[in-house]
Every structure is written in C-alpha cells, then in structure tokens.
A and B are shown apart, each in its own frame.
Chain A
Amino acid sequence: MGENSNSVLVIGGGIAGIQASLDLAERGIKVELVEKKPCIGGRMAQLDKTFPTNDCSICILAPKLAECYRHPNITLHTLAEVKEITGKAGNFKAKLLQHARYIKAEECINCGICIEKCPMRVDDEFDVFLRKRRAIYIYFLQGVPSIMAIDPEKCLYLTKDACRICEKVCEREAIDFEQKDSEVNLNVKSIIVATGYEPFDPSPLVNLGYKHLPNVVTGLEFERMICASGPLKGHLIRSSDRKEPKKLAFINCVGSRDMKYNPYCSSVCCMYTTKEAMIAYEHDNSIQSFIFYIDLRAGGKGFREYIERGQKEYGIKYIKGKVAKIIEDDDKNPIIIYEDMNTSKMKKFPVDLVILATSMIPNKDTPELANILGIDLDKNNFFLSNAYLPLDSSKKGIYICGCCRGPMDIPNSVIDASGAAAKAAENAIREG
C-alpha cells in the first residue's frame, strides 16, 4: 500500500461507511474502507425490512455491497481495526491491525463444504445469538466479501491444535492456518468515522423481564426472528413453546429517555416498532399488535402517514404510556401491567410476545477509537458534533457520520455519509 496520493480512510462498513466510500470512489478519490467484522453490511444487513416503505433491507443493501466490493477506487479491509492515527489533516498516517482470516480470499468460493464439516458450534452474533454457526463461517449469507472466515477463538485447531477438518475438505485449498495478524500502514488525507451503534442490553431493567421471561425479546432479535433468511426462516414462533404468537406488545423507549440509562431519544423506535408490527401482520393477518409509547415521534417524510396506515390497515393499537412491569402467567404468556390513561385504571394485559424497543448506544470501543483519533465524545459517548457543522469532529480533517454521532435512521445516515464524503473531499483537495 504505502503511497496514497489522494485517499480517504473510512472507518466502519455499515450503510454510512459504504455510502461515504461509494461517493468518494465515484468522485475519483481512493478509499480505504476498514471494517472490524468479516463482511461489510453493518446493522442494516441484520434488519428484515425498512420503514416507511417496508423495503426488504438486504434487497436494497446488497447491490451497494457488491458495488463497494468491485469499485476500483475502494480497498476493503475487513477483519481490520484502526490502531493508531498520527499526522494531521491532509497527511494522516493510519496503522491498521489486520486480523488473520485464515482463508485465502482469492481461493474461497463460498461453497460451504467446510461449514458442513466443522465440528465447532458457536453462538451466531449476526443472528443475535438466536442460532449457532460454526467456527468457520460466513458472517451472513449475502455477506461481502462472500468468503469464509475462521473464528480464532473457537477454532479447534487454533485453540487446541486439533481438527483441521476444513483444510482437508476444502477442494480449493483455501484454508491457510499460516496466516498471521499483520499491520497495514496507510497515508490518507482525511478520515471519515462511521462506526455505527450497538443495541442497548435491557437486562438491567429487571422488571421488564428480559432474559428471565422467555417471551420477552428485543427489537433486533425480532427482526432476525421474522426475517426470511433468519434463524426461524421467517416463521414467527416464540421460544417457550414454539407456538405462533398472535398478540404482540411493543414497548418503546426501553433504556431511552431515561436518566438512569440513556437520557436521549433513540430516534427510530416509534417507527421501527410500527414497521415490525406491520411485518408481523403481513406474515399472519390474525396477529394483533399493541405499541406502548411516551410520545409518538414520526416527524420524517411520510412517517405520520405510515403510522396512520399502521392503525387503519394493520390494526395496530397505540397505547400512550410507558410500561414498568411485565410478569408472566403459567403458560409463560407475558402480562403487561400498565395504566390505561383514558380511564386512569390499571390494566393487566396478557400477550403472547413482548418486543422491547431498546436504545441505540455508542459502540463499546468508541472511547478507545476517540482516543486513537484524538477527537471528542459527547456526554453520551457518541462522537461530538457541532450543531451547524454537523459532520465535523472536533479535529480538522476527521468527519463523523451516521449513528456514531447520535441515533438516526437509515436515510439520515445516508445523508450524513454523503455529506461527510463532501467534507472529506473538500479537505482532501484544499489540503492537497
């Protein structure tokens, strides 16, 4: 690598990082796209559909993944992390840690024979632990690059010096246990940070029963449950008795707008619970959904109309009020205790499945990355941005976009990403 006359480092291969990279690449600027996971795609790849159009998420994302992979101006660094940044705007030096994939990328054809034979079963992170994958795996079926990776923490050979079955069965001899973690050094003019978010773990809110009550799940878990390529193959059943739930309750603001957890609003939950309720109804018209909310936030284009449609066409009931307590009956049906504000009476409301709309929180390693980049965080640990220069970080030449600077939906992440690309291009040209 070494010589980069005019390039930009993009950190994070979710939709924001992808959009920023594609814009820059089309603009004629070389891009070094760094992604921690084995494939690009990010959170959007985990979603079943997207509001307010109910577009199938992977359907609209996949062409972008392929474009990113093929673009001559984009170099993908998957399974890589930024470890050190020195220099200043116009002349940054980046040191990446390239984790070994243990796969010869040019040989692997994603045929999956190795997966079949691998004896190690591991919780699948992409499917939010709802199913097992193997120690050799493709991060997700439509993932890009569409090649395997070996999980060094789980692989029998790499941990216990046994097995090597994958090596024997691979017809392409694509397994390479000799690969080592390595260092990649890059010179770049500007940096775009697009590291996204992670979902809040609602376990501390014990009264809501997450992890204690089997039929209380999170929004992201529900996305995977209902997704046709997810662990249930799109057949919505609940884990306690494998029955099809007919009555769903969605609890908004779980961990959000809450001074004890995350004081901010996560921006997307009112909309995505509506979407999830709609998809559930589309799967099974006998499903009825109830959405508990504090304020129904639907300010985006077509959002209000979307909620109206949810009410009229999908029979979704919106109930004003936050839920503090969920218990269950003998059949493990969750019972929601809430105040019906129309009558001020307390209700015990049994449902079949509860979906918690958990907050978006900054990635765990955001503070570390902020340190490496030398940029500031806000009080919630998102990257700090300025109201009237929303894409600028606290350091010249480094731009932030998407959910790493605060919760936002996909269109806003895309807008941010393109915007950050414009800023990075401006910087690259002016400092060049």
Chain B
Amino acid sequence: MEDIKMGVFICHCGTNIGGFLDVPSLVEYAKTLPNVTFATDNLYSCSEVGLSLIKEKIEEHDLNRVIVASCTPRTHEPLFRSICQEAGLNPYLFEMVNIRDQCSWVHMKETEAATEKAKILIEMGVAKALLLQPLEKFQIDINPTALIIGGGIAGMTAALNLANQEFKVILIEKEPELGGLLRYLYKLYPTHDDASKVLEVRNLVENHQKIKVITSTEPVKIEGFIGNYKVSVKRRDGIYDIDTGIIIVATGAQVLKPEGLFGYNGSTIITQLELEQLLKENKINVKNIVMIQCVGARNEERRYCSNICCMTALKNAMLIKELKPDANISIIFRDIQTQGTTYEEYYRKAREKGITFIRYIPEKVPIVKESNIEVYNDYLNQDISIPYDMIVLSTPLIANPDSEDLAKMLKVPLEENHFFLEAHVKLRPVDFATDGIYVCGSAHWPADIPEAISQAYAAASRASTIISKDVLEVEGAIAEVDEDLCVGCGICIKICPYNAISMDDNGIAHVTEASCKGCGLCGATCPEKAITNHHFTTKQILAQILASGGK
C-alpha cells in the first residue's frame, strides 16, 4: 500500500466557524488522526492566501491526501479540487468536511458539543480520505454526425439547423417522401398560410450539401452510446449501418380514425383530416356543419387532451365560413384549448364569425340522429337539437404503432399513451435520460406546427452540445462491475436510470462509462455486491460509518 500523507486544513471562515467552534483544538485533534502528517488552520481557505497555502503545503510535505474542513462541498469542492490538481494531486484525492453549514451555523449556542461534533466530522473525512483512490475522467471520441429519424416538419427543421451549423446530418424517413402529416393539411392556423408554403423547407433539406436524406427506410437495430451510435437501417435492397454521434427521434404521430364513433362513415360524418382534403378540393357544398370535439380523447381509453384539435376545428370552421359565409357551423366542445396570445385571439375571431359553440359534458355525450344531433347543453341544463348536413369529428393524435419497437431499440421509455417519455418533464423536455438521444414534435406529445418547430430547434441545440465536441469528458466517479462476482442477473440493467449498464456476450453486466452518472443505485442494489461505485465505495462509506460513532 502506498504511503499516505494527509494534510488537513481547517477553516475559520472568519468568525463563521472560528466564532463558534474551537478551531485550534480541531487542528490539534486532526494531528492525532492516522496518516495526518500536516494540519493547520486557515482564516479563509477559499481566499487567494488560503488556496496558495494549500498548494504550498502539498508540495512542501509531499501530501497525497488533502482535507479541507470548511463550508459545503456543493459550492466549494470544485474550487479545492482544482487547487489540488494545480499542485499535481489527483483531484479525487481531496475530501471536504462541512463544519460550517453542518456544524457552527446550526449549533451556535453549543460551542463544546459543536466542537466535539466537528472532530467526529473531521475524523470521518480522514477515514474516507485514507481509502480514496485517484480517478481519471474518461474521454470519449465523438462522431460529429447527427441521425434524425423522421422527416416531418420537426425532423426537417432539426436537420436544417444542424446542417447550417455545419454538422453532417443523415435524415431517414419511413415513407417514400419527406413531409409527414403536413402533406395532408390544407391551410395552417393561425395565419391561414398554405401548408405547401411551409412544406417548401423540403427543398432546402433535400438540396443541402450537409444533409443526406434517405427515404423508405426504417431503423432495425441500434447499438452504442453517446457519441458513437451504430444504427442499422432497412431499405428495400437490404440492411445498412449508419454511424452517428447522436440520434433525434422525430417520428411524429397519427390521427385517430374514429371507427365506430358517432356514426363515422367517411362521407357525411368525417374527420378533420378528411375535411382538410375537401377544403383543398373546394368540395364543401352543405349548409349545416357540426363539429364534435374530443372524439376518442379524454375518455376512459385515452385520458389525455390532444392539445391541437380545438385550434384545428376553429381553423377549419373559419375556412368554411370564408368559402361559404352562410354556412351554419357549430362546434360541440368540452373545454376550448386556445392557450396563449395568438390562439385566444383566434378563438375570439371564430366567435366573431358567428360560429356556434355548445359545451357538452362527458356524462352526456352528443347523440347523432339521422339529420340532427341531440346534446345536453350544460349551460342551459337542457337537451337541445342541432340540425346537420355534415358532421366533422375532431380526433386526437395518437402515438405511432411502431413507437414501441423504436423505443425498445433505443432503450428509452414511453409514457402510458405510448408517446416518448423525456428525461425530465420540466427541465429536460427534449432529452432522454440516455445521453445523446433527443426527441421533438408529436413523437413526444401532440404538437402543432409552431410547437414542433420550436422543439426541433431545441433538440438540435441539445444535440449540438455533444457533436460540437471532439471528445467528451465524463465524470470519473462512476460505477464499475467486478466481472468475477457478477452473475448476470440483470437487475442493475433494469434499475439504471440512464441505461448505462448492458449485458455483454458472456452474460456479464458492463457499465458504459460515457452514460454513467455515478448515482450509486446499482451498487446499493446488486444482489452479489459486484458493483463498485467509485468515490462512494462501500469500503469508504463503511469507514465513515465506523468513524462516526466517536469514541
């Protein structure tokens, strides 16, 4: 075993520690602890003077473990680690003891007891430091290529942005052409621009030097990790491999076909998407049109609100009004979803155009009769009857049926409605927990064009933070599997939140350094105790436990 020489620096933090703890006695105590070759106090360890003292003493005493007892490691550990590194010491051989936030500040009236506690805290630090090991940060080479799965508006937008940032982009699309759902739309809300105008981005994508578009292609197998994914794709003529640094999932969603709902027949009772086609062909020649919202949504089977159908209905109603000002259009709805500035204004405009809005409640859904719809009007507490010539059903976007296969290939989760589940709903909305894979557009959740575009840019941004680097440096304090102890039960693989563990060909678990975040979950759970969580090893923690009892 190496010869351990430990230096302990105890901070007064002005009077913040010194005013409440007996710092000199702490120094004397530290000197009695095993392998402590040097101990001193410091007025402010984090000041220039304090830091150079640490550096100087490391060199002078040839210290190979350093402990600073001061404030919280949450703010100051990076600083002290970098000073150790400057002095030529591996930064993981540093240990911090918090005697301010954990001691002097919270036991201000108990100098004696608090000083005793500080001694124990320092002793625990020393116990751990004795077992610290130098760790190296891993370096992973990054393939500066982006693979985008799905060539709808989201996929195309992300592709274009990344290509304009001069990254190499490969865009694969299941269908024979790019464009996704946008191809079937007539005009878009809230501007009533032709969908074809927005679809013009297709030309830019197809002609961009940095983008390779491969249509009629689907992934069949995905391996690798951040910076180094290998994706096998199936084309008509065989299977090909694509090497990429990151993957963006932009596979979109489908419109629910309301088979068996409200007398759907595809002619007089149709969906909004089918209505778009009639509008495109200017084939509306009826007077009384009734739209029903939340068809197949917000019910037992599909609890969610699909977010975009209210605006779609408003848009199509207004477009009909433009073509046929004397048409009577009614929208039977539950809650009108027009969040924000533009959409709420759009809703007011739809009312201005004379569109009739009738609210219904889920307990009493509208009943479609031969030439009229009967619905319980919640606002009047009465049944009313609305004549119709045509009914348009607003159905939700639903997850693509092949999402499940793709999710399995990517080893990323889906939520209960089978949309892709991001790493964190609030702060990582387009990331997956697995590094280097991103999601945007309706694959994530029903999104309209503006939302899909914002998300596509966001995913491109997140992706660019990786592929802009030649190498990625990852934390050294991660998990490692002892191959001799591992029995291949696979529990660690299931519980790892980051899919950082996989089974190798010999049935032994293997940690992908690039993906591990060092949470320690695997080590605490492994039935065979075959996993070492570096920097928080079982031995280190047991040593701390032992020291915490005091004498």
Please give, as numbers and ranges, the residues of chain B lying within 8 Å of A411 by CB-CB distance. Answer: 425-427, 429
Kindly state whether residue B183 has any CB partner on chain A within 8 Å: no
Kindly state whether residue B198 has any CB partner on chain A within 8 Å: yes
Query: Do the beta carbons of A423 and B75 come within 8 Å of each other?
Result: no
Kindly state whether residue B112 has any CB partner on chain A within 8 Å: no
The verdict on A426 contacting B454 (CB below 8 Å), with A111-B14, A171-B15 known, is no
Q: How far is the CA of A417 from the CA of B15 in the complex (A)?
A: 42
Closest chain B residue, CB of each to CB of A382: B341
Residue among A296, A299, A344, A419 making CB contact with B457, cutoff 8 Å: A419
Kindly state whether residue A87 has any CB partner on chain B within 8 Å: no
Q: How far is the CA of A19 from the CA of B342 in the complex (A)?
A: 25
Q: How far is the CA of A50 from the CA of B429 in the complex (A)?
A: 14
Closest chain B residue, CB of each to CB of A23: B461
Kindly state whether residue B207 has any CB partner on chain A within 8 Å: no
Among B158-166, B365-373, B400-408, the one that faces the other chain is B158-166
The verdict on A301 contacting B444 (CB below 8 Å), with A52-B425, A426-B164 known, is yes
Closest chain A residue, CB of each to CB of B167: A429
Q: How far is the CA of A411 from the CA of B191 in the complex (A)?
A: 25
Please give, as numbers and ranges, the residues of chain B lying within 8 Å of A382 by CB-CB distance. Answer: 341
User: Min CB distance, B475 to chain A, in Å?
Assistant: 14
Please give, as numbers and ranges, the residues of chain B lying within 8 Å of A421 by CB-CB distance. Answer: 461
Query: Do the beta carbons of A429 and B455 come within 8 Å of each other?
Result: no
Please give, as numbers and ranges, the residues of chain B lying within 8 Å of A417 by CB-CB distance. Answer: 458
Q: How far is the CA of A406 from the CA of B44 in the complex (A)?
A: 46
Chain A 213-240 against B: per-residue CB contact (8 Å), 1 yes, 0 no? 0000000000000000000000000000
Kindly state whether residue B339 has any CB partner on chain A within 8 Å: yes
Please give, as numbers and ranges, the residues of chain A lying within 8 Å of B193 by CB-CB distance. Answer: 387-388
Chain B 282-299 against A: per-residue CB contact (8 Å), 1 yes, 0 no? 000000000000000010
Kindly state whether residue B516 has any CB partner on chain A within 8 Å: no
Query: Do the beta carbons of A304 and B305 come within 8 Å of each other?
Result: yes
Chain A 138-176 against B: per-residue CB contact (8 Å), 1 yes, 0 no? 000000001000000000000000000000000110000
Kindly state whether residue B172 has any CB partner on chain A within 8 Å: no
Query: Do the beta carbons of A172 and B348 come within 8 Å of each other?
Result: no
Q: Looking at B46, B444, B446, B455, which has the most chain A CB atoms within 10 Å of its CB? A: B455
B residues engaging A (CB < 8 A)?
Answer: 13-16, 44, 46-47, 71, 74-75, 78, 161, 164-166, 188, 190-191, 193, 198, 298, 303-308, 335-345, 348, 378-379, 381, 415, 419, 424-430, 444-446, 449-450, 453-462, 464-465, 468-469
A residues engaging B (CB < 8 A)?
Answer: 15, 19, 23, 26-28, 50, 52-53, 55, 60-61, 64, 66, 70, 107, 109, 111, 113, 146, 171-172, 257, 263-265, 267, 295-305, 308, 320, 341-344, 378, 380, 382, 387-391, 406-408, 410-412, 414-423, 425-426, 429-430
Offer 5 A-B interface pairs, CB within 8 angstroms, sorted by A. Answer: A111-B13, A263-B348, A301-B425, A419-B458, A429-B166
Besides A109-B14, A263-B344, A267-B340, 18 new A-B residue pairs in contact (Cβ under 8 A), listed by A number: A23-B465, A60-B427, A107-B47, A109-B44, A257-B344, A264-B342, A303-B305, A304-B304, A320-B378, A344-B381, A380-B341, A387-B449, A388-B449, A408-B340, A415-B455, A415-B458, A423-B161, A430-B164
